[in-house]
C-alpha cells in the first residue's frame, strides 16, 4: 500500500494530496457509498458515533445542491466568537453526486457578512475548498471550526473581510458515513459546485442565483477548485462563475506521489490510497500485508495533526510485493485510476489564476505550471503567479492575498495578466 507511512507536520496543515489507489476490483454495494446512510469504510473500520446532523437521510434528493437541513454553526472565525457581530455562519447538509453520479449527502458551512457589499456587483459568493484535513469524520472543516483547530479560518476570514459570502464544503465522506474520497477529481468538483448551489437556496443569506461566483482553494482545495472549474460548464452551467483562484494544485497525482514517497508527507499518500480506491471500487486487501492493513485501518481515524509517527517510512514495508508508492503508481489498476484524477484535460468555464511557490516541497511547481500550460492550450485565460515563499505551507498566505486581487478584478469585470504567451 503505497506510502502508508507518514506524519504531516503540524504546520502541514495545508497539506495536499497525492494519490495511490489499490489493486483488485470490488463492487460497491448500496450501503458502501460514502455520504449515504449506513455506508461503511473501505477497511470496514467502525467509525465513532457522529453528531445527528451528519447522519444522511434514507432518501437523498436527486437534484444536486438541494438543501437537506441546516443549523447555526457553533463557531465562526475566532475562538471568542467576536466575529458573530459581523458574519453569520450556517452549517448545511446538501445533496451532491459522487464520481459515479450516485446521489450523496455532503455537509459544509456558509459564511455571510452582515454588512453590505460595496463592490460594483451583487455580493460575490466564493465556493471555498479546504486543504487536507484528514480522513476521519472528526476532521470535517465544519466540525474542526467548532473545536477551534481549523487552519482554513485564515483564508475564510480574509475572504469574508472583503465582503464576500463563503461556502465551504466538507467533501464526500468527511463528516458523513464512509471513507472520504480524498483527491477524487469528480467527487471534489461536484461537492464544490453543489455547495454553491446550496448556499444560493438558503433563506435570508443575501445570496441567490444573481450573485457572481468564484472558486477558491489551496493544495487539496486547489485540486478541488480546479476540478470544479473544469466541470462547471457541464455539471452546473447555471452558476455565474467569474473566475477560479487555485493554489498549489495537485493536478498530476503520479508526480506528486513520486515527490513525497518516503518523506515527511507520506500520510497524504495513504489518504489518497484509501480515497481513490473507494471511488474506483478497488480492494486494498490483496495489496497490503498485515502491517499495511493495520496502518490503513488506523488512518481511517486520523486527521492531519495525528500523523507524526508515520513520516519517513519506507512504503514498501506495508505491501505484499514490497513495491513502494512510486513503483505501484506505474502499474495497473493504479496507473489508470490515478490518470482518472488528472486535471487539465478540460477547459475551465472562466478565467483562472494559479498561485504556486517555486520552492513547494509537496506539490512540485512544475505540476502547477503544466496545468496552466494545459489550460492555455485549450484556449483558457490563465494567470500564473510563481511565488518566492519557500515550502508548501509557506505558499498559502501569499495565495490568499493574490486571490483577493484576482477576484476584485474579476467581480468588477476586468482581467489580470494573461500568462499563456510565456508558457
Give tens-digit pLDDT for 328-352. Answer: 777 888 789 989 999 999 999 999 9
Beta carbons of 4 and 316 less than 8 angstroms apart:
no
Q: Residue 24 pLDDT more than 80?
A: no
Q: Where are the alpha helices (DSSP H) in 202-324?
A: 220-235, 253-260, 266-280, 290-299
Query: Beta strand pairing status for 165-169 and 67-72?
Result: unpaired
Cα dihedral 275, 278, 284, 285 sign: positive
Kindly tell me if the per-residue pLDDT of 414 is higher than 60. yes
Q: How confident is the model at residue 22 (pLDDT cuts 50, 70, 90)?
A: very low
Is 314 a member of any domain? Answer: no
The C-alpha atoms of residue 343 and residue 230 are separated, in whole angstroms, by 8
Instruction: Answer whether 5's CB lies under 8 Å from 120's CB.
Output: no
Residue 27: give its domain's CATH number. 3.40.50.1820
Per-residue pLDDT tens over the stretch 147-190: 767 888 889 989 998 999 999 999 999 999 999 999 999 999 99
Pairing of strands 125-129, 87-97: unpaired
CA–chain centroid gap for 270, Å, is: 15
**Residue 291 maps to a domain:** no
Indicate whether 269 belongs to any domain. Answer: no
* 325 domain-assigned: no
Is the pTM higher than 0.85? The answer reads yes
CA angle 10, 352, 161 (to 5 degrees): 60
CB 380 within 8 A of CB 344: no
CA distance 298 to 251: 27
CA 12/CA 14 separation, integer angstroms: 5
Asked whether the beta carbons of 364 and 255 are under 8 A apart, the reply is yes
Unique residue bearing C-alpha cell 504567451:
421
| 381 CA to centre of own chain | 23
CA-to-CA dists, residue 118 to 122, 162, 206, 403, 413, angstroms: 9, 9, 14, 18, 15
Nearest to 410 by CA among 166, 132, 215: 215
What length does the chain have?
Answer: 423
Sheet containing strand 352-357, edge to edge, reads: 67-72, 87-97, 103-113, 165-169, 125-129, 213-218, 241-247, 352-357, 382-387
Q: Which pLDDT value is given to residue 313? A: 85
Average pLDDT over residues 291-295: 89
Grid cell for residue 43: 477497511
Greater confidence (145 vs 338) lies with: 338
Neighbours of 148 (CB within 10 A): 11
Torsion angle in degrees (nearest 10) through CA of 170, 176, 180, 184? -60
| Residue 182 and residue 272 in contact, taking contact as beta carbons nearer than 8 Å | yes
Q: Are 183 and 272 in contact (CB under 8 A)?
A: yes
Helices (H), 104-215: 141-144, 153-161, 185-201
Number of folded domains that form the chain: 1
The whole domain housing 77 covers: 10-253+339-422
Does 295 fall in a domain?
A: no
- pLDDT at 307 (0 to 100): 67
pLDDT number for residue 263: 86
Amino acid at each position: 500500500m503505497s506510502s502508508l507511512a507518514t506524519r504531516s507536520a503540524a504546520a502541514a496543515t495545508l497539506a495536499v494530496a497525492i494519490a495511490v489507489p489499490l489493486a483488485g476490483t470490488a463492487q460497491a454495494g448500496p450501503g458502501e457509498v460514502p455520504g449515504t446512510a449506513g455506508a461503511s469504510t473501505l477497511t470496514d473500520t467502525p467509525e465513532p458515533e457522529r453528531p445527528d446532523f451528519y447522519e444522511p437521510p434514507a432518501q437523498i434528493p436527486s437534484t444536486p445542491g438541494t438543501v437537506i437541513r441546516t443549523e447555526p454553526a457553533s463557531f465562526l472565525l475566532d475562538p471568542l466568537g467576536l466575529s458573530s457581530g459581523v458574519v453569520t455562519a450556517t452549517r448545511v447538509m446538501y445533496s451532491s453526486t459522487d464520481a459515479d453520479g450516485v446521489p450523496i449527502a455532503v455537509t459544509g458551512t456558509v459564511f455571510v457578512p452582515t454588512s453590505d457589499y460595496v463592490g460594483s456587483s451583487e455580493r460575490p459568493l466564493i465556493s471555498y475548498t479546504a486543504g487536507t484535513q484528514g480522513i476521519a469524520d472528526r476532521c470535517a472543516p465544519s466540525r474542526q471550526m467548532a473545536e477551534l483547530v481549523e487552519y482554513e479560518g485564515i483564508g475564510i476570514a480574509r475572504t469574508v473581510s472583503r465582503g464576500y459570502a463563503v461556502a465551504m464544503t466538507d467533501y464526500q465522506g468527511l463528516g458523513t458515513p464512509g471513507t472520504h474520497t480524498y483527491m477524487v477529481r469528480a467527487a471534489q468538483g461536484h461537492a464544490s459546485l453543489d455547495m454553491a448551489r446550496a448556499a444560493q437556496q438558503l433563506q435570508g443569506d443575501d445570496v441567490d442565483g444573481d450573485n457572481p461566483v468564484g472558486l477558491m482553494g489551496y493544495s487539496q482545495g486547489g485540486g478541488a477548485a480546479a476540478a470544479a472549474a473544469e466541470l462547471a460548464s457541464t455539471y452546473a452551467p447555471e452558476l455565474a462563475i467569474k473566475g477560479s483562484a487555485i493554489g498549489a494544485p495537485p493536478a498530476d497525482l503520479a508526480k506528486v506521489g513520486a515527490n513525497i514517497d518516503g518523506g515527511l508527507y507520506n500520510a497524504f499518500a495513504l489518504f489518497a490510497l484509501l480515497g481513490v480506491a473507494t471511488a474506483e471500487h478497488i480492494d486494498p486487501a490483496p495489496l497490503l500485508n498485515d502491517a499495511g492493513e493495520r496502518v490503513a485501518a488506523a488512518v481511517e481515524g486520523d486527521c492531519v495533526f495525528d500523523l507524526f509517527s508515520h513520516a519517513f517510512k519506507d512504503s514498501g514495508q506495508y505491501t505484499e510485493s514490497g513495491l513502494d508508492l512510486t513503483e505501484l503508481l506505474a502499474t495497473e489498476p493504479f496507473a489508470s485510476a490515478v490518470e482518472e484524477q488528472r486535471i487539465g484535460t478540460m477547459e475551465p468555464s472562466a478565467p483562472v489564476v494559479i498561485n504556486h511557490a517555486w520552492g513547494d516541497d509537496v506539490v512540485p511547481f512544475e505540476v502547477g505550471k503544466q496545468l496552466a500550460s494545459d489550460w492555455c492550450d485549450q484556449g483558457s485565460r490563465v494567470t500564473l503567479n510563481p511565488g518566492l515563499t519557500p515550502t508548501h505551507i509557506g505558499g498559502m498566505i501569499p495565495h490568499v492575498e493574490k486571490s483577493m486581487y484576482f477576484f476584485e478584478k474579476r467581480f468588477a469585470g476586468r482581467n489580470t495578466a494573461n500568462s499563456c504567451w510565456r508558457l
